[in-house]
């Protein structure tokens, strides 16, 4: 079979801030306009072959897939308008136009794939698969990589010695090992990069170029190897089902934006860095009662995962690197530490409020802090507060996550719902740096205002209302003020359906007729004060980082379904 498709996107951005509205600028009119387009082409060419002969079942697949992505954009802006009449439709009317911008990028991915499934006597199952992927994003010697996998299963319940064990309906043992690759980086990371620079000389502006990043031809695929061991068990004519898995996943050559030493002349670059290991358990138990007037199907699943940084490479002296700074967010907020959970928030622990100016000066001389400002904990105990007192201040990995699925039916009625949850994790609520800053241009929470520091001896837990810059410690550096408890239990979906009886269907000549009402995300039980404890910034490797992700919508729907 051959499949092909194109995904085309065209977008336009228009913005105009009228004269008199500063919007962070000078209030003299600010016009911006940009247009971009992108398309992705996908082509799949797959060949299948199957063979069945008594005790043998064989299925093979081979194919070639190709993907290409191209994006193109232009933009312009200007400030300094004498009238608002043009808005952003006449950028040349601005007295201070900015240089126009344009961009272009493309990438390609080709894959050669194959798979063999073999079953003998419906008892022994073998799967072999592999893919040879090539990406234009990597260096000329590292564009291609091979990712094999294998899986083996044994249906023990099909063996002759299990024929008299009637209470076991199905027993299958499974194991697998496999590798996969990741190429989720921007194009051109292996090349030297230059950016335009417009210096001003006595004769006017001159366009020039400066180096912004050096080439890294050694950049290669991030690789994940995973081992699974599992069991499937069904009991009492499939009334009870149990699925249990243990997995161990090791990711090497992580593609990270890592800091570089100042002597290099560059701040950071994409590099293959270290190794992260994930291991854990997945457990599911289900119960089915499909006899009697009340029928039900229940399922409970539980997942426990533990992640650990196993290796960060060695330095020029052959010593193990203990820390890699990855500039995620406003700075090095989520560095990797050897032997620690990856991507935890790194910052200061708030240890109260300075009650007097003398106390602030003694603890942080030269910082400009004064009474009413946050006091940080002296983590290393040297009597001074500085960057050496930063520490890991979160535990964003849950102790476990869980889900409950239930379907109950009685006569024509059917009730189904899904509950999901997470326990023991924290969320980085970056909104706190705005909502608790008592002195900026942002609105603040009632909690922060009511519990602000108001004078010596005050019991307030939030910094005083102030206009001096040191009161904004939450902007410069992450702190424990950003950390919130993130455990939750959420009713993800619920649906009530009534199926009309067959007598009515015969009258209206229909095969099926039902009415239903459903809801999504209606109830969330949590101590997290912001919109949604599930929120996580999807463009980051960090899970549990709330920096304005649109929350899950609460919806209620109703409808009628008719089948003829």
245 touches 228 (CB < 8 A): yes
- pLDDT tens, residue by residue, 78-117: 999 999 999 999 999 999 988 899 999 999 999 999 999 9
pTM: 0.83
3-state secondary structure 496-514: EEEECCHHHHHHHCCCEEE
φ, ψ for residue 17, nearest 5 deg: -105, 120
How many C-beta atoms surround the C-beta of residue 157 within 10 A? 17
Determine the Cα–Cα distance for residues 530 and 485; give it in Å rounded to an integer. Answer: 11
Q: How far is CA 87 from CA 102, 120, 193, 361, in A?
A: 22, 73, 35, 51
Q: How far is CA 300 from CA 284, 295, 404, 530, in A?
A: 6, 17, 5, 28
Determine the Cα–Cα distance for residues 163 and 462; give it in Å rounded to an integer. Answer: 70
- pLDDT tens, residue by residue, 269-312: 888 988 999 999 999 999 999 888 899 999 999 999 999 999 98
Strands 2-19 and 28-53: antiparallel
Q: Which two tokens stand for residue 309?
A: 């940084």
3-state secondary structure 65-93: EEEEEEEEEEEEEEECCCCCCCCCCCHHH
For the chain, the distance separating the N- and C-terminal CA atoms, rounded to the nearest angstrom, is 32
Nearby residues of 263 by Cβ (< 8 Å), 6 or more positions away:
none
Nearby residues of 167 by Cβ (< 8 Å), 6 or more positions away:
235, 236
Which of 424, 379, 403 lies closest to 490, judged by CA?
Answer: 403
Which of 179, 401, 182 lies closest to 306, judged by CA?
Answer: 401
Q: Which two tokens stand for residue 445?
A: 């929470």
Task: Look at the chain and count its residues.
Answer: 564
DSSP state at residue 432: H
Residues in the chain predicted with pLDDT less than 70, given as ranges, are: 22-26, 204-205, 327, 329-331, 440-441, 467-476, 538-540
Determine the Cα–Cα distance for residues 131 and 139; give it in Å rounded to an integer. Answer: 19
Give, in degrees to the nearest 5, the angle at Cα 284 between 281 and 286: 170
Q: Which two tokens stand for residue 2?
A: 């051959």
544 touches 520 (CB < 8 A): no
Which ranges of 302-364 does DSSP label H, i.e. alpha helix? 357-363
């Amino acid at each position: 079979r051959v499949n092909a498709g194109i995904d085309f996107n065209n977008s336009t951005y228009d913005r105009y801030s009228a004269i008199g509205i500063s919007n962070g600028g000078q209030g003299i009119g600010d016009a911006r306009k940009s247009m971009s387009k992108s398309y992705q082409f996908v082509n799949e060419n797959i060949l299948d072959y199957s063979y069945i002969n008594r005790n043998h079942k064989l299925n093979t697949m081979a194919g070639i897939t190709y993907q290409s992505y191209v994006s193109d954009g232009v933009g312009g802006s200007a400030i300094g308008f004498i009238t608002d009449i043009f808005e952003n439709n006449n950028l040349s009317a601005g007295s201070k136009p900015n240089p126009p911008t344009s961009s272009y990028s493309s990438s390609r991915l080709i894959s050669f794939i194959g798979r063999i499934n073999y079953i003998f006597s419906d008892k022994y199952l073998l799967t072999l698969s592999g893919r040879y992927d090539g990406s234009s994003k990597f260096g000329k010697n590292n564009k291609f990589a091979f990712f094999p996998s294998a899986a083996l299963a044994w249906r023990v319940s099909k063996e002759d010695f299990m024929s008299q064990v009637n209470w076991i309906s199905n027993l299958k043992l499974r194991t697998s090992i496999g590798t996969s690759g990741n190429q989720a980086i921007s194009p051109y990371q292996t090349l030297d990069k230059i950016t335009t620079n417009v210096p001003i000389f006595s004769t006017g502006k001159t366009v020039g170029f400066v180096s912004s990043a050096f080439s890294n031809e050694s950049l290669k695929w991030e690789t994940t190897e995973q081992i699974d061991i599992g069991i499937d068990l069904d009991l009492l004519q499939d009334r009870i089902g149990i699925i249990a898995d243990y997995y161990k996943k090791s990711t090497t050559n992580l593609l990270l934006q890592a800091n570089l030493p100042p002597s290099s002349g560059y701040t950071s670059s994409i590099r293959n860095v270290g190794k992260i290991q994930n291991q854990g358990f997945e457990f599911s138990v289900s119960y089915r009662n499909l006899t009697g007037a009340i029928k039900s199907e229940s399922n409970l699943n539980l997942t426990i995962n533990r992640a650990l940084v196993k290796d960060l490479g060695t330095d020029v002296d052959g010593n193990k690197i203990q820390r890699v700074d990855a500039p995620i967010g406003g700075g090095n907020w989520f560095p990797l530490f050897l032997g620690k959970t990856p991507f935890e928030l790194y910052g200061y622990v708030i240890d109260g409020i300075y009650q007097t100016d003398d106390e602030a000066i003694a603890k942080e001389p030269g910082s400009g802090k004064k009474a009413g400002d946050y006091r940080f904990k002296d983590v290393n105990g040297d009597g001074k507060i500085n960057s050496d007192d930063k520490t890991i201040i979160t535990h964003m990995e849950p102790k476990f996550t869980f889900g409950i699925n239930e379907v109950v039916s009685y006569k024509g009625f059917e009730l189904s719902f899904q509950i999901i949850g997470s326990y023991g994790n924290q969320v980085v609520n970056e909104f706190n740096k705005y909502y608790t800053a008592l002195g900026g241009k942002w609105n603040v929470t009632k909690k922060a205002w009511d519990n602000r520091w108001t004078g010596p001896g005050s019991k307030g837990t939030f910094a005083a209302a102030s206009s001096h810059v040191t009161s904004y410690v939450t902007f410069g550096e992450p702190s424990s003020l950003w950390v919130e408890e993130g455990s939750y239990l959420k009713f993800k979906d619920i649906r009530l359906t009534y199926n009309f009886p067959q007598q009515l269907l015969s009258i209206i000549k229909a095969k099926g007729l039902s009415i239903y009402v459903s809801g999504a995300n209606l109830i969330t039980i949590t101590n997290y004060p912001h919109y949604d404890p599930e929120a996580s910034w999807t463009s980051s490797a960090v899970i549990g980082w709330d920096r304005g992700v649109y929350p899950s919508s609460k919806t209620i729907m109703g409808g009628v379904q008719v089948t003829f």
